[in-house]
Amino acid sequence: MDIVKRAAERAEAAEAYREKRTGTAVAFNAGDLEQVKAEDIVGHALRIIQEGRLGFASTTGAKADGLVEAALLSAQHGNPAPFGFAGTAAADPVPVCHDATTRLPAEELIGWCEEAVREIERAFPEVIANAGAERGSIDVEVKTSAGLARHEERSYLSMGVEAQWVREGDIYTVSASQSVRTVDELDRHRLIEDVLRELDWGREVVPAITGTPPVLLLPSAMIVVLLPLFVGFSGMSVVLGTSPLKDRLGEQVFDPRITLWDDGRLPLGPRSTSFDDEGVPTTRLALAKKGVATSFFHDLRSAALAQQEPTGNGQKSGLMGGGFRSPPSPGPRNIVLEPGTGTLDDLLAEMGDGLIVADVLGLGQGNIASGSFSNNVGVGFVVRGGKVVGRVKNTMIAGNAYDVLKSGVQALGGEPEWVYGVLHVPPMLAGGVHVVAQ
Amino acid sequence: MESLLRKAVAQSGADFVEARWDEAAWSRVAFQRDQLMALEQSAEAGGIVRALSGGAWGVASFTKAEDIEEAAKNAIRLAKIGARHVKEPEGIAEVPVEEARHQAELEHDFREVPLERKRELAERYNKLILGVSPDIVSTSVRYTDLLRRSTYANSEGAFIYQELPDVTLLLAAVARKNGDVQQAFESIGEAGGYEIAQDHEAKAEEAAQRAVQLLSAEPVKGGTYTVILDPELAGVFIHEAFGHICEADFLFRNAHMRKVMEIGRTFGVEELNVVEDGYIPGKRGNVPYDDEGVRRRKIHLIKNGILNELMHSRATAAKMGMQPTGNARAVSWEHAPIVRMRNTYIEPGSARFEDMLKGIDRGIYAKAAFGGQTQFEQFTFSAAYAYEIQRGEVGPMVRDVVLTGNVFHILKNIDMIGDDFTLQGGSGGCGKGGQFPLPVTDGAPHVRVNQVTIGGR
């Protein structure tokens, strides 16, 4: 008998979540194959409402009995449930699965990694190249005692490529990665080209331009100014009063060129799903239109507390993982920043003298709720007269994401890219970023 | 489970097979402002088999105990696929075959404390924080306890059962004024019983007061400073900036990096000693045996300023001709072990705090840690709060202090090591290779460093 039925016999309402993960990952070390791993995992979570109180528990495998007891214990000492479980409204399917991708043989993933290592080491014989890839599927089922029964299989495929250039007194590391739903979308050559370009740009170490030069954030570095918005636009942060955007819907909070979507329904988007981890249909939500804040994203709890509709953003797996063990909380889907115009070269020409940031260290370690950032430039380049002249070291960028997006936007590029498996963003030329170097 | 594990690792077809079955039982209580975000008492179990064949590893994880033989066959099959591609085969260093049982030492067994008591404890801290000032708008108070019971067997005949307890408490306050949001926290983590989480009312109030103080603190001015790190931040520094590059798995196949991290190379002043220890009673990073069944060793990473030893798994030790150190750890049954830290600390020196302040015309006294990240020689870590040092005296509070630099330079720029010492675990943990949060502790005395780059305006 299934868990939700068992729970419903003992509680007023129940919501059961089941996640089955099957996948294969290949890992290289210093360019040589090290490990092939397979996983076959089932995780369960159960929420119940009993005497009006909310209870939660999770487990693995097939121990349903213990799970119901644990959720009842939790509810016994819990608080009144501020929300009810999802209704049975239709959830239109979004394409998120490609069968052939879930079955790609390990040999094929190994072959791609070997090819990447070979290509990079051929162009730069002195570097140590490395690669890794994984594929598989996550099969999710959400059922409630009110009759909701949703099920979806989602495929995933990701590949990362890295190169390390060690010289006396200098270690230079560049990397590129891609997370997609189908094998057709994976652009392996793009990954290799990105790494080769950054190796080429970084042959020489040059002094950074300090002060507040124009800073070109490549798509891979846009997370620096967008990560604080994951907190700012979260319905829960708004409810708790920790979001700087609280009470500011309808206000011009960003530059008019900033139009930002949280799109849970983008076909084959890396974080698209037909329904969220609470069974609520996902949505395509405008967070900001022409710089005006328009909506926040919600799960069931934050929506109920804010007296808003849920937006299908209830997630058990945040960007930092979590999975079936975590109670849901509001999280972003695919964050899409509408592009401007022009190529990377156009942006470089416009910038004249400045700093390109491709990768940073220390993401999310500061006070991101306030929007402030302060990061070591892991991979960054000096531009003089629109041309890259070399790479920086021991350099930091600092500023406030809200200030940069409000008054520091100089240009948005016309060529968006997927990064971190969550952002689809163009490069941005920005002012108001403080650069210091040793 | 013992017989299932022993049978699974006896499968033929590989050079070496190991299997682990982990049972975890935990409680968690989490408040944010007035919302009880989590209240649970859950349990789970899962397993993982790892096989070495032809110099490549095959790994299979699973959640149904009866699938273990299938998982073992699968791990061997995957290792054989890998072996067809390996250029430089991996091996494993010899270690004594251990049979051991290690029980948890809990003063006040948290399994005997009802969930409602744990809720009351967290709620009391939460209310204390909220009551400190009208500027406190939210909180994050989280109590967790966990008992991991791990059973391990390998094809050499090793069999280890161990219980690893972990109790954490996070007391965080969020203050907001005029659109500015600041946060402060206190965080505790130990391998002990329920007592670890009790009697921290003063810390809860401290966190709340500090969040309010940070609202009126100025952001630090970016530049290069002489910095005094408090023991907590110095501990995070030695973990992030130096500890990670002493994990042999990132360099054992990389001749360039091996040369950079050559044993015998001078890294700092003679007074600098850095220890990595697998067992200190009550500490979070304790692993009597690691997840390859290797008994812990206490090692000096740096002895008298000189690189002395690295942290090893059996594979890295074999390749480099060293002895395993007991540092192969997995965060859970979902993962194969990789080289990780345990309890890592800088040994106390002889400097008094007052003497460290002397002679600093313009500096920063950086305290506690938000976190840190390292990328080989480059590292960054952020102080939870800090003070300016002006003409040898501790001055006003500053915020947004993020330190960065090149670890080889900064270790050489440590010029004074304090005579005090704190070794502590926080409520978070260490992340590496997708495995997070692994319980560890860091420790140090106060440490003074010259020429540190701090980001800012």
Contact B253 A166 (CB under 8 A): no
User: Which whole number is the average pLDDT over B265-278?
Assistant: 97
| Other beta carbons within 10 Å of A201 | 20
Find, in chain B, the residue whose alpha carbon is nearest to that of A40.
B62
Mean pLDDT, to the nearest integer, of B67-86? 97
- Residue B456 pLDDT: 81
Whether residue B180 lies within 8 A of chain A, CB to CB, comes out as yes
Contact between A262 and A285 (Cβ < 8 Å): yes
Contact of A194 with A225, CB cutoff 8 Å: no
User: Do the beta carbons of residue A30 and residue B254 sit within 8 Å?
Assistant: yes
Mutate to test the interface with B, among A319, A370, A400, A402 (most CBs of B within 10 A): A370
| Alpha-carbon distance A399 to nearest alpha carbon in chain B (angstroms) | 7
Query: Among B82, B375, B379, whose Cβ lies nearest the Cβ of A35?
Result: B82
∠B80-B82-B88 over CA atoms, to 5°? 110
The answer to whether the Cβ–Cβ distance between B174 and A369 falls below 8 Å is yes
B2-216 belongs to which homologous superfamily?
PmbA/TldD superfamily (3.30.2290.10)
Cross-chain CB nearest to B74 (options A38, A241, A242) = A38
Q: Is A322 in the B-facing interface, judged by CB distances under 8 Å?
A: no
Of A77, A110, A243, the CB nearest to B115: A77
Q: What is the number of alpha carbons within 13 Å of residue B21 lying toward its C-beta?
A: 23
A234 touches chain B (CB under 8 A): no
Cα–Cα distances (Å) from A301 to A35, A82, B1, in that order, read 42, 6, 41
Rounded to whole angstroms, how far apart are CA atoms B294 and A71? 38
DSSP codes joined into one string, B434-452? TEEEEP-EEEE--EEEEEE
Q: Is A386 in the B-facing interface, judged by CB distances under 8 Å?
A: no
Asked if A156 and A136 touch (Cβ cutoff 8 Å), the reply is yes
The answer, for A77 touching chain B at a CB cutoff of 8 Å, is yes
Give the sign of the dihedral formed by CA B413, CA B381, CA A162, CA A348. negative
Q: Do B254 and A164 touch (CB under 8 A)?
A: yes
User: Is A383:A213 a contact under the CB 8 Å cutoff?
Assistant: no
* Torsion sign, CA atoms B243, B244, B248, B252: negative
Q: Which residues of chain A have pLDDT under 50?
A: none
Give the pLDDT of residue A322: 62
Give the per-residue pLDDT at B43.
Answer: 95
Q: Are B371 and A173 an interchain contact pair (Cβ–Cβ within 8 Å)? A: no
What's the token pair of residue A114?
A: 């070997």
pLDDT more than 70, % of chain B: 100
- Interhelix angle A64-76/A3-10, nearest 10 degrees: 40
DSSP output for B130-184: HHS-TTEEEEEEEEEEEEEEEEEEETTS-EEEEEEEEEEEEEEEEEEETTEEEEE
Q: Does B146 touch chain A (CB under 8 A)?
A: no
Q: Dihedral (C-alpha) B2, B8, B14, B16: value to the nearest 10 degrees?
A: -10
Contact A124/B at CB under 8 A: no
Task: Tell me which residue has tokens 């889907």.
Answer: A333
Residues of B in contact with A396 (CB under 8 A): 222, 380, 402, 404, 453-456
Q: Strand order in B299-303's β-sheet? A: B306-307, B299-303, B274-277, B343-346, B441-444, B422-424
Is omega for the bond preceding B437 within 30 degrees of 0, making it cis?
A: yes
- Mark yes or no for CB contact B67/A30 under 8 Å: no
pLDDT in tens, B328-354: 999 999 999 999 999 999 999 999 999
Torsion angle, CA of B33/B37/B42/B48, rounded to 10 degrees? -110
What is the domain partition of chain B in residue ranges?
2-216, 219-455
State mean pLDDT over B181-189. 95
> CB of B34 within 8 A of CB of A11?
no
CB-closest option in B42, B82, B87 to A36: B82
Q: Is the Cβ pair A240, B138 closer than 8 Å?
A: yes
Nearest to A262 by CA among A325, A319, A172, A333: A333
Are B260 and A398 in contact (CB < 8 Å)?
A: no
Q: Provide mean pLDDT across the span B395-400.
A: 96
Which stretch of A56-65, B176-185, B259-268 has the lowest confidence by average pLDDT? Answer: A56-65
Residue with tokens 């603190």: B217
Give the minimum alpha-carbon distance from A368 to chain B in angstroms, rounded to a whole number. 9
Whether the CB-CB separation of B114 and B6 falls below 8 Å is answered with no
Tokens 């430039």 belong to which residue? A377
The DSSP call for residue A377 is E
**Mean pLDDT, residues B393-408 taken together:** 94
- Which residues on A lie below 8 Å from B45 (Cβ)? 60-61
Chain A residue closest to B408 (CA)? Answer: A169
Q: Across the A/B interface, how many CB contacts are shorter than 8 Å?
A: 269
H or E stretch covering A190: helix A188-201
Query: Looking at residue A64, what is its pLDDT?
Result: 64
Q: Is B253 on the interface with A (CB under 8 A)?
A: yes
Does the CB of A82 have a partner CB in chain B at under 8 Å?
yes
Of A34, A327, A438, the CB nearest to B224: A438
Q: Burial of B2 by CB count in 10 Å (0-12 exposed, 13-18 middle, 19+ buried)?
A: exposed
Nearest CA in chain A to B383: A366
- Rounded to the nearest 5°, which phi and psi values hold at B257? -70, -35
| Helix/strand/coil percent split, chain B, to 5 | 25, 45, 35
DSSP bridge partners of B208: none
- Give contacts of A 46-75 with B, CB under 8 A: 54-63, 66, 70, 73-74
Tracing tokens 């990389």 back to the chain, one arrives at B254
- Go through chain A and tell me how many residues it has: 438
Residue A1's pLDDT is 61
Nearest-Cα distance to chain A for B278, in Å, is 26
B119, B222, B257 ranked by CB distance to A434: nearest: B222
